[in-house]
Amino acid sequence: MRKLLKHFVFIINVLVALLTVCGYLLPFLKPSQFKILSVLSLFLPVLIAVNLIFVLYWIIRFKRKVLLSAIVLLLGFPYLSSLYSFDNDVVESDLSVMSFNVRLFNLYDWISEDNIPERIADSIMRASPDVVCIQEFYSGANFVMPDYEYRYLHIKNQGSKVGQAIYSKYPIIDKGSVGFENTANNAIFADVVIDSDTIRMYNLHLQSLKITADVAAISQEEAQFLVKSMGKTFVKQENQMEQFLAHLATSPYPVVIAADLNNTAYSYVYSRLTEKVLDGFKRGGEGFGPTFNFRSFPVRIDFIFTDIRFSTSSQRVLQWKLSDHHPVISEIQLR
C-alpha cells in the first residue's frame, strides 16, 4: 500500500512538472491558437510553488526523483524575477506614477462601507503621486482631487458613465484614445510635460476576465464554463495588445504605461508588451507584489511599465482595501 502511494505521488509530480513546462511556453504561444492552454498562465506561480514542495518532499526521503522538479525549477529560473523581487529602498526620482483599478468606486456596494470614492481620493492625495491612472472610473461618483490640476477622463461608450482617467500634477498638452472594438475596455493616453521633458502616459485596460474574487464560491460547473470563457478572453486580449502596440509605435515621446492587463507576467500579452518596454517590478518591486484580491489566490495583474530609456527606482503595491485591486505606485527616473 505504501509503495502504491509513492507511485501515485510521483505520478502527480510528473503531471505538475508537465503542466509547469507547458506554462513556461505560454508567453510564446498565441491564445488564438491555444485557447484552453492559455489559462495556465494564471496558475504558473502555483505550479512553481508545488514543484518546490515536491523538491523538499523527495529531499527528505533521499530519492533521486527530486531531479524532476529540480530540473523544472531550473528551467523556470528566468521567470522568478517576475514572481518575486527583493525589497528596494525608495530613492529620489523624477516622476511618481500610480495605477489603480477602482472598481467603479464601489458603485454596487461590493464593499460594505460608506464613502469609498471620497476615501480613495483622500488616500491618493496622501500618497501624492505625480500622475494617477485609473481604470474602471465611474464619472457619477463623488470623486474630487483638487491637488491634480490637469486631468483626462474618457468615457468610451455613449450614454455610459464608465471609462478611464488620467490625473496629473503636470500639464497635459495632448490626449487621446486607442479605441478597442466591441468592448468597454480601452487604452487612453496623455502627453505630459515635466520640466523640459515630455512623456506619453498610457492607461491600458485589457479585456476583463469577469471573475469573482471569491474563488471558493465557484462551483464545478461554473469553473468549467470559466475556463472556456477565459480562453476566449485571452484571445480578445491578444487582439487588443496588437492594436495597442501599433499605437505605441507611433508615439513621438518616451512612454510610461500603467496597465491592468487582466493577466499575469507569464502570459502572451505580457511577453509581447515587454518586447518594447520594461516591467518596473523587476527592477524596483517588493516581494511577490500581488495586486488582485483573490481570497486565497493573489496574483499580479496590474503593472507599471517604462520606456527602455527610463529606470524604476522603486515600485510598491499599497495594501488599500478600497477595491478588489490594490494600487501600484512607481518611482521613475527619466534620465
For the chain, list the domains and their CATH numbers: 2-83 (no CATH), 95-333 (3.60.10.10)
Q: Where are the beta strands (DSSP E) in the chain?
A: 95-101, 131-138, 150-155, 162-168, 172-177, 186-194, 197-205, 255-260, 278-279, 302-306, 311-317, 328-333
- Over residues 260-274, the mean pLDDT reads 95
Percentage of the chain exceeding pLDDT 90: 67
More confident residue, 43 or 271: 271
d(CA 48, CA 40): 12
* pLDDT, tens only, 275-316: 999 999 988 887 788 898 765 678 899 999 999 999 999 999
Task: State the residue for C-alpha cell 496588437.
Answer: 242
Cβ contact 262:202 at 8 Å: no
What angle in degrees, to the nearest 10, is found between the helix axes of 44-60 and 66-75? 140
**What mean pLDDT value characterizes the chain?**
89
The per-residue pLDDT for 330 is 96
For residue 247, which amino acid is it?
H
In this prediction the pTM is 0.90
d(CA 232, CA 167): 32
Percentage of the chain exceeding pLDDT 70: 90
User: 221 pLDDT band (50/70/90 cuts)?
Assistant: very low
